[in-house]
Amino acid sequence: MIVDVFLPSVLFLIAMIAIFLYSRLDKKVNYLVGGKELRPKHAILLVAAIGTMVTVIIAIPQHALLGLFLFAYTAILFLFTYLIVSKWYLAAVPAVLFILSFFYFWNIYTFNLFAILFGIAIAVYMGVLFTWKTTVAFAALVTIMDIIQVLITGHMEGAFETAQKLGIPAFIKLPTFPTMGTTYLGLGDIFLFGLLSIQNTRKYGKKFGLNSTILMTIVYLLLQTVLLNYVPLTNGFPATVLVVSGWLTSLAARYIYNSFISKKEKVTTGVI
């Protein structure tokens, strides 16, 4: 049987880091954006933009695409670091290191490192900007979009191959463990996992945030194991389905637990 506990473990650690940084930076990000929040209608536009970008990536000239991504990644890294250190000359260091690494020291370690950093940065930013309703709308719509782009149009596979050819850190590439092999996970899936963990913490508190992230990781591991062993993955599989399934499972578990506690209290107090 093919089993990979490494990727789910990395996802869990990423989510924990995202939650920690969110708790330290939420006020700064909120001040930076002027206290604005994205509504469900904005989630529709965001998902539409993501889906369009996935399709357009295949047609954009590679040099232009590379320039666009390098600029976007450098800007995100600079702004995110600036939130932490509050000094522009210190915030510029990681951005410069990214550019130098990309052109002179690019390997699997720097590739994965910066991909993870970008995923965390976006999750923290969106964790502040998204309301709970926006998160629900976004999770539903981005999952539908992912299913279409992976299983129907195949554009996600084409975008992945383009990013892989250019060396753009739009995904992470990890060895499987304990089974030998290699696995890939898109930056959007990393971001979504972190975002949902942050939103669970934001709405229901730190304890549920931790417990829900653990449960999301377990569900991801179980579903990934089923896919690796029983489902032919010729063109990949929409990982958002795994992430959102874990999220919904955590919410269902919370509802069942609270219902059980409520019923138990009623029996104890003699209230029916």
Neighbours of 72 (CB within 10 A): 11
Number of domains in the chain: 1
In sequence order, what are the beta bridge partners of 171?
186
Q: Rounded to two decimals, what is the model's pTM?
A: 0.94
Average pLDDT over residues 245-270: 86
CB half-sphere exposure, 186, CA atoms < 13 A: 23
Omega before 238 within 30 of 0, i.e. cis: no
> What is the distance between the alpha carbons of residues 262 and 266, in angstroms, rounded to a whole number?
6
Cβ atoms of residues 70 and 99 within 8 Å: yes
Range of 253's domain?
6-269
Q: Is residue 123 scored above 70 in pLDDT?
A: yes
Average pLDDT over residues 20-40: 87
Q: Is residue 267 scored above 90 in pLDDT?
A: no
- Residue 1, domain member (yes or no): no
- Residue 152, domain member (yes or no): yes
> What is the distance between the alpha carbons of residues 223 and 11, in angstroms, rounded to a whole number?
14
Q: Which of 225, 138, 133 is nearest to 178 (CA)?
A: 225
Average pLDDT over residues 130-152: 95
- Residue 12, domain member (yes or no): yes
> What is the distance between the alpha carbons of residues 178 and 160, in angstroms, rounded to a whole number?
26
- Residue 228, domain member (yes or no): yes
- pLDDT, tens digit, 9 for 90 and up, residues 10-23: 999 999 999 999 99
At 66 the pLDDT is 92
Neighbours of 191 (CB within 10 A): 24
- pLDDT, tens digit, 9 for 90 and up, residues 69-116: 999 999 999 999 998 888 999 999 999 999 999 999 999 999 999 999
Distance from the Cα of residue 22 to its chain's centroid: 14
- Residue 41, domain member (yes or no): yes
pLDDT band at 27 (very low <50, low <70, confident <90, very high): confident
Distance from the Cα of residue 26 to its chain's centroid: 17
- Residue 227, domain member (yes or no): yes
Neighbours of 40 (CB within 10 A): 16
